[in-house]
Amino acid sequence: MLRTMSTTVPRGRETATAPPDGADTGADSARVAEARRRSTERRRRQAARMHQLLWVVVVVTAAFACQDPPRPGLTGVRLAVTVALAGCLVALVLAACERGPRNSEAGLVALPLLLGVSGTVLAALQPASLMVIPVSAAVGMLFSRVRARLALWLATPLTVSVSLMTGGITSAHVSVQTGLGSALLCVVLGASCFFARQAGLGQDRTELLLAELEDSREAVARAAAVAERSRIARELHDVLAQSLSALAVQLEGARKLAERDRVDPVLRRLIVRSGELTREGLSDARQAVAALRGDDLPTVGRLNALVERCRRDLAMPISLSVSGQPQRALTAEENLALYRGAQEALTNAARYAAGAPTAVVLRYTPRATVLTVSDQGATATATTGGSGAGAASGPGTPPADAWTGGGNGLRGMRERIERVRGRTHAGPTAQGWTVKMEIPV
């Protein structure tokens, strides 16, 4: 279900500020976190531009207030001009430096109100100056900080007051057109800040909802994949596992008959070994079912057990070496891809280069995890299902086809590795055949 509660804004009640940086927003996905990061960065850029404009207003306000009569002073009307100018400058500087109370709605309107009231007083004391500039800035700050209804209630008296002050109520030297121009400037700036804020909020909500929608689609796809894998696991269990169980029972019966009838020892040993391989194949089938269901999956940590098993079952001289330290923990899919790749490569080495020395090398480098399986058998051209050609099984060597490998040939190996952003290489060497699997860090 989409988490829209955090992004839905009731009509007429926009949130005054965005959640503070570093606030706990729950267990967000990487996509949602990136959307929030872009939103925060966009708000910072907008705030930086607003601060630059406020510094311009500081300079303009101070210049006009000090130039037009009555100038700031310490007595009479000049003292009132000084106090009003100080109120304007303090409010503007604090807003430009992101200072002042912001923990509540009352704190958010404090600086704009101080700026608006001080600017209105200056407009009354200095009708010839452009004191509509700080008042219009106060109106814009209100609409960019608080919800629209409250901003409208506070900005209307400021707009009307500065329009009357500059429109001829306090001085006959100022025309009505100037008052209308002052009101229009406040209205345009307030509307611009309001629509800019609404556009920003809308873009934030849109990006967040799109990110959550993509997450939901991925979740649906994963659920469908899990359901399909569960279905395949059931079919595999019902068909393969039951067939192997029946085969194990039949081979156990054959073993007992061979012991009773005192058959050739070689035949009896083959029957016993076939039963063992059948039970191991049944164990592999159960592991495959568990893997399809998302249970415990084999990892590269089990390569030692895999190599020991190949030595015992396939009579292969296999060596295993591990070098380096992992730069990061491999995911379950990456572990499974490397393990199955090694399993397939060893199966092919047994099939096409039986009895040849084989080396399994696992290397952790700063850039990748590399697994190499090399045999020293006869060189031949690769096929889809094997890794090299072959010497036939020597005398007394168990037939390689009896061993139940878990891979699907070079093509299946390559597809597994590519699904985890890795790459493979398989081909002949001067002394045999090499399969190399590499997963980047």
Q: Per residue of the chain (441 residues), what is the pLDDT tens digit? A: 333 333 333 333 343 334 444 444 456 788 888 889 998 898 888 888 888 889 999 998 888 888 888 888 888 888 998 999 999 999 999 988 887 777 778 888 889 999 999 988 888 888 766 778 899 999 999 998 888 899 999 999 988 888 887 766 544 444 677 778 888 988 998 899 999 889 988 999 999 999 999 989 988 888 888 788 777 777 776 667 667 777 777 888 888 888 888 778 888 788 887 877 777 777 677 667 766 666 567 788 889 988 888 888 777 889 999 998 888 888 878 888 898 889 888 888 888 888 889 999 999 998 899 999 999 875 443 333 444 433 333 433 334 343 334 434 678 788 889 888 899 998 888 888 899 999 998
Q: What whole-number distance in Å separates Cα of residue 64 and Cα of residue 30?
A: 51
d(CA 222, CA 292): 13
pLDDT of 128: 67
| 63 and 182 housed in the same domain | yes
Could you tell me if 312 and 211 lie in one domain?
no
Statement to judge: residues 157 and 39 lie in one domain: yes
> Do 38 and 183 fall into the same domain?
yes
Give the pLDDT score at 175.
66
Kindly list the distances between the CA atom of residue 348 and the CA atoms of 213, 239, 275, in Å, as whole numbers in the listed order. 45, 25, 22
Strand locations in 22-104 (E): none
C-alpha separations of 30 from 6, 22, 41, 214, 295 in Å: 17, 15, 16, 11, 25
Q: Of 195, 216, 237, which marks where a domain is finished?
A: 216
Would you call 376 helix, strand, or coil by DSSP?
Answer: coil
Sheet holding 433-440, edge to edge: 318-323, 358-364, 368-375, 433-440, 423-428
Burial (CB < 10 A; 0-12, 13-18, 19+), residue 374, is buried
For residues 43 and 152, state if they share a domain. Answer: yes
Domain that holds residue 391: 297-441
Distance separating alpha carbons of residues 137 and 188, to the nearest angstrom: 11
Residue 7 lies in a domain: no
pLDDT of residue 369: 93
d(CA 375, CA 428): 10
Based on the fold, state whether residues 194 and 337 are members of the same structural domain.
no
- Examine the domain organization and report whether 209 and 316 are in the same domain: no
429 within a domain of the structure (yes/no): yes
Q: Which among 157, 76, 66, 83 is positioned nearest to 121, based on CA atoms?
A: 83
Q: Of 179, 198, 216, which one is at a domain's C-terminal end?
A: 216
Helices vs strands, H then E, count in the chain = 11, 5
* DSSP single-letter state for residue 175: -
Q: Residue 209 class from Cβ within 10 Å (0-12 exposed, 13-18 middle, 19+ buried)?
A: middle
* pTM score: 0.49
Is position 285 within any domain? no
Do 204 and 319 belong together in one domain? no
Whether residue 90 is contained in a domain is answered as yes
User: For residues 130 and 359, what is the distance between their CA atoms, to the nearest angstrom?
Assistant: 86
Any idea which residue has 């001829």 for tokens? 168
Q: Has residue 278 been placed in a domain?
A: no
Are residues 42 and 188 part of one domain?
yes
Q: In this structure, what CATH number is given to the domain that contains residue 358?
A: 3.30.565.10
Asked if the structure places residue 410 within a domain, the reply is yes
Q: Is 250 part of any domain?
A: no
Element (H, E) at 372: strand 368-375
Distance between CA atoms of 151 and 108, rounded to whole angstroms? 11
Same-domain status, 211 and 303: no
The tally of domains found in the chain comes to: 2
pLDDT given for residue 222 in this prediction: 81
Q: Are residues 38 and 180 in the same domain?
A: yes
Among 216, 247, 279, give the residue marking a domain's end.
216
Q: Write phi, then psi, for 307 (nearest 5 degrees).
A: -65, -45
121 is a domain residue = yes
* 8 A C-beta contact, residue 356 and residue 375: yes
* 318-323 and 358-364 beta bridge pairing: parallel
